Structure 1
């Protein structure tokens, strides 16, 4: 792609991929001079589409409007990042005032491009001390280079679901806490039929399975993707090789990549009763907090539990950590009602009662200190596991980047090849990966 320094936007094809570069924001300018006590109608775009989730959003808006009778909110649900980006580039009266996104990967673009406004001035005006409200990890994934252009609107934490019946059958007393225990238990839990095909895998480690994205599993090692100068350092960090080696060992302990990959193709859709864990084709499974609600509503035919994912043996003291991500909310750069919009964003993200009620309604992890410790929060032990993961100081989110999730995609593609044995020289492959990530980042800056 051409590296133009002129203030122009990329082609429709690139825009369709959700990529926004600095300087591409629509020239129309919003206003932070509005009076939030005056009558106004705001437009709030979000991505929730499940009827129960949409109802939870609508109930939240009803509570907000009761507190702010002068502010009316029109919501549009099931909106993708691409649709939001197109609307913000186009501007005009139909563009949203308050926006949300299900991915933290694009925060670096939202902040650096100016598409989402800096929220620090609004927090300062209204006395919100963000470091006292939000855990540091959540603030990290909603900001970029010191610009807080988003705030967390509930979070997702990833942990381990395990089949207690299968554990009892295999003589395993508790879920694994270290990677050596993980490999041992996965092998014990694996069952084969008379002909050699799988009846059940102990744990399906293949990166293409459902939520098994390599960046999520890699969080158990506590990696640092970039150095202080912003250069990729996956090749220099020994944890990268340890992670890929462990994943290979997990596969070998259960029959190898080819056999497991063939078995993976027999699994049903992730959200269906035929999914691997629900159908008992996997005894352990990595997933987010929402899976527990699905298992209950689907009336799973086995006893199950939750726990943090195992950690490397030499980092046993970090057990309890996990991968964090979540929904983010912000104010559109071209909103002419930014102070009123801030009142909505503040209510949705800061108000403890609202955050807890919304978290309980859609079974997501709350995203403020107060909500995480609220006695009104769902006390279900399987859900509390993920609350503890979110509160663990070692838990990790992906660092924001100016080109969004492009470096994550590059890492995923590399990991797919590595697990399939298509990277003969891992050191060279990782160095080439770092070079690719750095080149992509430089292109985005230029």
Structure 2
């Protein structure tokens, strides 16, 4: 299932809950005996019928291996609800928690609401560096504290319409940004009335999964320096990224016409999705999209997103995110809770079965290499992206996704022509990010 970009309101409300209530979080303990009978409370965000079944099947497998541990799962729970419960503590609070919002890991770790998992891994002999890809460890930790582990991942790549490619004589998907700009223009088909029948690649940031950080990942940017200060104005990749996006807009008719066409698209998760209806020839999206394209009226394929022309060796990379899971600081059954977290995140057979069930990317090195994974070639493109050494995730921040929301707002201003001086705009963006981080620390 897609991990949709959180709205600014959602991010800020989560921030407020965490920062206002975590100075003295309810304290649990890791003194419990994990071999004694216990019932754990596991709160998660999955809600679709097939996803809930996959979670329940996972719990059944765990309980078969640990007959003394029962797990009571509650689904469709938001981060805000979880954090309210963790602040309150008590018998009804969860022991194990999961979140789709990797942006908030920095807050989970720094606030103390999710416990540091390194002592549990050391105690039970789990070597995280041998088990998990580096990029996934990066987005589940903050300043050296591993308060979460990855529970499946999402990788972003390129979906393309093979019939449209054949129609205009393009033999393969683009691998560089220059090829993307050329192919996008060639695939764009204007309507007689001045609008569009089809756009080669819609660059506008408000489209579905087109949040700026996902395409920006193809440049491998550094958001912060060693002191934690924002450095986008010093990052040549930032100027290259926005220049590329502006050129994509220009070559396909300009921001205004493209934005008008975008507003005519159907809902992302409906049968009127713009790629499914042929209005987009190429589209940035995650691995889950393939399931909804099984009955598409055209031939389609998947590939990694293109990379900058001067970095061809990085082709195959992509943006990574995913679900994270941890143990509540208020839990009095932390050793038993660790047994559940360890099973869900590191047992190869379990990770593969769960990945196949909900069509997400597995989050361990062994599972990524498993022959038992879904053999669909379109899906395997995303497995390769997840395993690519250049693929990256967003760095954790003390105020969660606030800097991502600031980048998104800046992207909207850039694409619409409201940032005439890109260098000045980036400096102001850095200042805003630093000011927000400083406020979160006080």
2:250 matches 1:252 = yes
Q: Which deviates more, 354-363 or 23-32?
A: 23-32
1:68 matches 2:66: yes
RMSD of the TM alignment (CA)?
1.4
CA contact 1:34–1:340 (8 Å) conserved in 2: yes
Cα-to-partner distance string for 1:269-295 (whole Å, 9 max, x where unaligned): 000011110111000000000000111
The residue aligned with 2:399 is 403
CA, structure 1 residues 19+321, in 2 after alignment: closer, same or farther (shift >3 Å)?
Answer: farther
Tell me if 1:265 matches 2:280: no
Q: 1:425 aligns with which of 421, 424, 427?
A: 421
In the other structure, the counterpart of 2:186 is: 188
CA contact (8 A) 1:17 1:82 kept: no
CA distance in 2, matches of 1:43, 1:259: 51
Q: Does 1:277 align with 2:257?
A: no
1:172-211 matched pairs, under 5 angstroms? 172-211=170-209
**8 A Cα contact 2:217 2:318, kept in partner:** yes
Q: Which runs of 5+ in 1 are unaligned?
A: 1-12
| In 1, Cα distance between equivalents of 2:38 and 2:70 | 6
Conserved? CA contact 1:143–1:150, under 8 Å: yes
Q: How far is the alpha carbon of 1:21 from its aligned partner?
A: 3.0
Residues of 2 paired with 1:237 and 1:407: CA distance? 16
Shift of residue 398 of structure 1?
A: 0.2
Q: Which stretches of structure 1, 4 residues or longer, exceed 3 Å deviation after superposition?
A: 13-19
Match of 1:147 in 2: 145
Q: Give the 3-state SS of the residue equivalent to 2:18 in structure 1.
A: coil
**Aligned counterpart in structure 2 of residue 321 of structure 1, from 309, 317, 323:** 317
Match of 2:336 in 1: 340
Distance in 2 between residues matched to 1:233 and 1:20, nearest whole Å: 26
TM-score by length of 2: 0.96
For 2:3, the equivalent position in structure 1 comes to: none
What aligned pairs does 1:35-114 form with structure 2 within 5 A after superposition? 35-114=33-112
SS in 1 for 2:373: coil
TM-score normalized by the length of structure 1: 0.95
> Is the alpha carbon distance of 1:289 and 1:243 closer, same or farther for their aligned partners in structure 2, counting shifts above 3 Å?
same
Aligned-residue offset at 1:325? 0.2
1:434 equivalenced with 2:430 (yes/no): yes
Q: CA offsets per residue over residues 402-421 of structure 1, 9 Å max, x none? A: 00000000011011000000
What is the SS of the residue equivalent to 2:164?
helix
Gaps of 5+ in 2: 1-10
SS of the residue corresponding to residue 43 of structure 1 reads strand
Q: Secondary structure at the match of 2:311?
A: helix
Q: 1:18 touches 1:81 (CA, 8 Å); kept in 2?
A: no
Query: Deviations along 1:182-210, whole A, 9 cap, x unmatched?
Result: 00100111111222210000011100000
Q: Distance in 1 between matches of 2:91 and 2:113?
A: 16
State how far apart, in whole Å, the 2-side matches of 1:128 and 1:22 are: 34
Work out whether 1:170 is the aligned partner of 2:177.
no
Aligned-residue offset at 1:171: 0.3
Secondary structure, counterpart of 1:196 in structure 2: coil
> What is the CA deviation profile of residues 48-70 of structure 1, one whole-angstrom value per residue up to 9, with x for unaligned ones?
00000100000000000000000
- 3-state SS in 1 of match to 2:158: strand
Distance 1:102 1:121, change over 3 A: same
Query: Distance between the aligned counterparts of 1:334 and 1:229, measured in 2?
Result: 31
Pairing 1:229-248 to 2, within 5 Å after superposition: 229-248=227-246
Distance 1:152 1:308 in 2: 22
The answer to whether the aligner puts 1:32 opposite 2:30 as a matched pair is yes
The answer to which of 217-226 and 16-25 deviates more is 16-25
Deviation track 1:99-144 (CA, whole Å, cap 9, x = no partner) reads 0000110000000000000000000110000000001111010000
Q: Shift of the alpha carbon at 1:28? A: 2.4
Question: SS of the residue aligned with 1:436?
Answer: helix
Indicate conservation of the 8 Å contact 1:19/1:403, yes or no: no
CA apart distance, 1:88: 0.5
